[in-house]
Amino acid sequence: MSGIVTQEGVAAWLRAFAEAVAKNREYLTELDAAIGDADHGSNMDRGMQAVVGRIDGPSAGTAGGGVGALLKLVGMTLVSTVGGAAGPLYGTFFLQVGKAAGEATELTLAQWAAALEAGVKGVQMRGKAVLEDKTMVDTLMPAAQALSAAAASGAGLAEALRQAAAAAEQGMKATIPLIARKGRASYLGERSAGHQDPGATSSWLLLQTAAETLAAGAPAEVPGA
Ligand X SMILES: Nc1ncnc2c1ncn2[C@@H]1O[C@H](COP(=O)(O)OP(=O)(O)O)[C@@H](O)[C@H]1O
What gap in Å lies between CA 43 and CA 124, rounded to an integer? 20
Q: How many of the other CB atoms lie within 10 Å of CB of 40?
A: 28
Nearer to Mg ion, 66 or 199 (CB): 199
Question: Is residue 85 within a helix (H) or strand (E), and if so which, with residue range?
Answer: none
Nearer to ligand X, 2 or 29 (CB): 29
Number of helices and strands (H, E) in the chain? 9, 2
Nearer to Mg ion, 87 or 171 (CB): 87
**For residues 35 and 192, is the Cβ–Cβ distance under 8 A?**
yes
**For residues 71 and 98, is the Cβ–Cβ distance under 8 A?**
yes
User: Taking CB under 8 A as the rule, does residue 82 contact another protein?
Assistant: yes
Nearer to another protein, 42 or 170 (CB): 42
The distance of closest approach from Cβ of residue 181 to ligand X in the complex, given in angstroms and rounded to an integer, is 9
User: Taking CB under 8 A as the rule, does residue 84 contact another protein?
Assistant: yes
Question: Is residue 132 within a helix (H) or strand (E), and if so which, with residue range?
Answer: none
**For residues 13 and 215, is the Cβ–Cβ distance under 8 A?**
no
User: Taking CB under 8 A as the rule, does residue 12 contact another protein?
Assistant: no
Nearer to Mg ion, 206 or 214 (CB): 206
What gap in Å lies between CA 53 and CA 224, rounded to an integer? 39
Binding residue (CB under 8 A) for another protein from 66, 88, 122, 198: 88
Q: How many of the other CB atoms lie within 10 Å of CB of 223?
A: 8
Binding residue (CB under 8 A) for another protein from 8, 26, 37, 56: 37
User: Taking CB under 8 A as the rule, does residue 26 contact another protein?
Assistant: no
Residue 135's alpha-carbon distances to 85, 91, 114, in angstroms, are: 11, 15, 21
What gap in Å lies between CA 136 and CA 52, rounded to an integer? 22
**For residues 192 and 182, is the Cβ–Cβ distance under 8 A?**
no
The distance of closest approach from Cβ of residue 127 to another protein in the complex, given in angstroms and rounded to an integer, is 7
Stretch near another protein under the rule CB under 8 A, chosen from 39-47, 58-66, 109-117, 168-176: 39-47
Binding residue (CB under 5 A) for Mg ion from 66, 68, 75, 84: 84
The distance of closest approach from Cβ of residue 222 to ligand X in the complex, given in angstroms and rounded to an integer, is 38
Instruction: By CB under 8 A, name the binding residues for another protein.
Output: 37-39, 42-43, 79-89, 91-92, 126-127, 180-184, 186-189, 191
Instruction: By CB under 6 A, name the binding residues for ligand X.
Output: 32, 36-37, 39-40, 43, 84-86, 89, 123, 127-129, 135-137, 182-184, 197-200
